């Protein structure tokens, strides 16, 4: 495995206040994790285990209660860190697409490169069309999100993130809102990105994808990393009773 660490998570905690502001919910409880450049990390676990919170803490969509997140060796949780600069390195693909409904596919894809990267509009559009062609959607460039299927929307969301030339892509359950027959077309795009060496961290319930594509699988429960290792370690040789119980219910 590559030893070049792109993201280093150290003793990360995230606490939410419970109802009435009394008891605290420990969404993350001392998480340590290294994400290596060019590798795919898949995060699995039951609902409420802290998977999505961990992912959202990587780009400070959720601000950690404690611990640190370092990107390219820079602690982005320190006061004064230019988080917008580092967010440009981290593309995020959400469960519900988050496309602007009043903009065409092409406009959705070129907005950020033009505004944030100061890219020439023609250059941004050429890059966007190249990426749309790659996922078989070049003929939908002038369509609006309401005119797309769920699978098409998610493929657009992925290539929209790629328009920013990120160093890492974060996927938060990218297929869970899709009809079953549309899941494959999105996973195929993700598989091709993994083969090309895109660094990816993905929260998913798709165990087949985790087994086939991941370099490293993390199993979370109760805000902690209970077990981690290669796909073979996690799926074929689970050590903890909690992971064994989880796999018995879903496989």
Residue 87: is its pLDDT beyond 90?
no
Share the mean pLDDT of the chain: 92
pLDDT at 168: 95
- Cβ–Cβ < 8 Å for 72, 35: no
pLDDT tens digit string along 209-232?
999 999 999 999 999 999 999 999
User: Which residues pair with residue 90 across a beta bridge?
Assistant: 168
pLDDT tens digit string along 102-144?
999 999 999 999 998 899 999 999 999 999 999 999 999 999 9
pLDDT at 39: 95
pLDDT at 20: 66
pLDDT at 95: 87
- Let me know if 35 is exposed, middle or buried by CB neighbors in 10 A (0-12, 13-18, 19+): buried
pTM as predicted? 0.92
Residues 6+ apart with CB under 8 A from 116: 84, 88, 164
pLDDT tens digit string along 24-74?
788 999 999 999 999 999 999 999 999 999 999 999 999 999 999 999 999
The residue among 162 and 18 whose pLDDT is bigger is: 162
pLDDT tens digit string along 2-22?
579 999 999 999 998 767 666
pLDDT at 21: 61
User: 55-59, 143-147, 181-185, 245-249: which range is least confident on average?
Assistant: 181-185
Q: How many residues does the chain have?
A: 251
Q: Which of 185, 181, 127, 183 is nearest to 159 (CA)?
A: 127
Give the mean pLDDT of 149-157: 93
């Amino acid at each position: 495995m590559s030893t070049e660490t792109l993201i280093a998570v150290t003793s990360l905690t995230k606490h939410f206040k419970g109802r009435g502001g009394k008891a605290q919910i420990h969404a993350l409880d001392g998480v340590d994790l290294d994400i290596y450049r060019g590798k795919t990390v898949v995060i699995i676990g039951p609902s409420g285990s802290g998977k999505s919170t961990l992912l959202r803490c990587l780009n400070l969509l959720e601000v950690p209660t404690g611990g640190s997140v370092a990107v390219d060796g820079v602690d982005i949780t320190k006061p004064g860190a230019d988080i917008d600069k580092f967010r440009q390195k981290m593309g995020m693909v959400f469960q519900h697409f988050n496309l602007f409904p009043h903009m065409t596919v092409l406009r959705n894809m070129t907005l950020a490169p033009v505004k944030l990267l100061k890219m020439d509009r023609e250059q941004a559009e050429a890059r966007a069309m190249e990426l749309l062609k790659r996922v078989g959607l070049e003929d939908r460039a002038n369509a609006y999100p309401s005119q797309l299927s769920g699978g098409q929307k998610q493929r657009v969301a992925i290539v929209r993130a790629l328009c920013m030339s990120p160093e890492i892509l974060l996927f938060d359950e990218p297929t869970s809102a899709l009809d079953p027959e549309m899941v494959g077309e999105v996973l195929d795009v993700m598989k091709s990105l993994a083969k090309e060496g895109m660094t990816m961290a993905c929260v998913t319930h798709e165990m087949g994808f985790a087994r086939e594509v991941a370099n490293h699988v993390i199993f979370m429960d109760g805000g902690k990393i209970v077990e981690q290792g290669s796909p073979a370690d996690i799926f074929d040789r689970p050590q903890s009773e909690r992971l064994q119980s989880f796999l018995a219910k879903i496989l």
